[in-house]
């Protein structure tokens, strides 16, 4: 029985989608449901910055630093009508530079 539980837990870990996100050093004005400030992110160092309207669970953003993060991305089963269908969770801060 213990072996079955272990195998199920291991197979769930294999299904996790991870992603690299670069986070820019300043928040920028953006508009969602109302006016707000968004992070700017990109998936690859050579990409252009794009607005990021979501939160990254476990990530304490500090202005003035560019971050490279590894995040877990999962789908939200029943997302709100005005929200994202994806949830982001910090796995690791790969780098934090001024």
Q: What is the pLDDT of residue 34?
A: 80
Q: Quick one: DSSP state of residue 26? A: S
Residue 31 falls within a domain, yes or no? yes
Q: What is the pLDDT of residue 82?
A: 65
Q: Check residues 7 and 34 and name the one with the higher pLDDT.
A: 34
Residue 72 falls within a domain, yes or no? yes
1 pLDDT band, cuts 50/70/90, is very low
- What range defines the domain where residue 85 resides? 17-97
User: Which residues have C-beta within 8 Å of that of residue 59, sequence separation ≥ 6?
Assistant: 69, 71, 90, 93
Residue 46 falls within a domain, yes or no? yes
Residue 10 falls within a domain, yes or no? no
pTM for the structure as a whole? 0.78
Residue 88 falls within a domain, yes or no? yes
Residue 55 falls within a domain, yes or no? yes
84 pLDDT band, cuts 50/70/90, is confident
Q: What is the pLDDT of residue 76?
A: 82
pLDDT tens across 18-68, in order? 999 999 999 999 987 788 999 999 999 999 999 999 899 999 999 999 999
Distance, in Å, from the CA atom of 77 to the CA atom of 2, rounded to the nearest integer, reads: 29
Q: Check residues 84 and 45 and name the one with the higher pLDDT.
A: 45
Number of structural domains the chain divides into: 1
Residue 11 falls within a domain, yes or no? no
Residue 9 falls within a domain, yes or no? no
């Amino acid at each position: 029985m213990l072996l079955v539980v272990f195998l199920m837990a291991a197979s769930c870990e294999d299904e996790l989608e991870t992603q690299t996100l670069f986070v820019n050093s300043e928040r920028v004005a953006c508009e969602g449901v109302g006016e707000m400030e968004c992070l700017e992110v990109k998936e690859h160092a050579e990409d252009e910055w794009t607005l990021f309207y979501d939160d990254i669970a476990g990530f304490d953003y500090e202005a003035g630093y560019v971050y490279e993060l590894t995040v877990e991305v999962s789908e939200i089963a029943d997302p709100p009508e005005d929200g994202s269908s994806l949830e982001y969770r910090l796995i690791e801060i790969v780098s934090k530079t001024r």
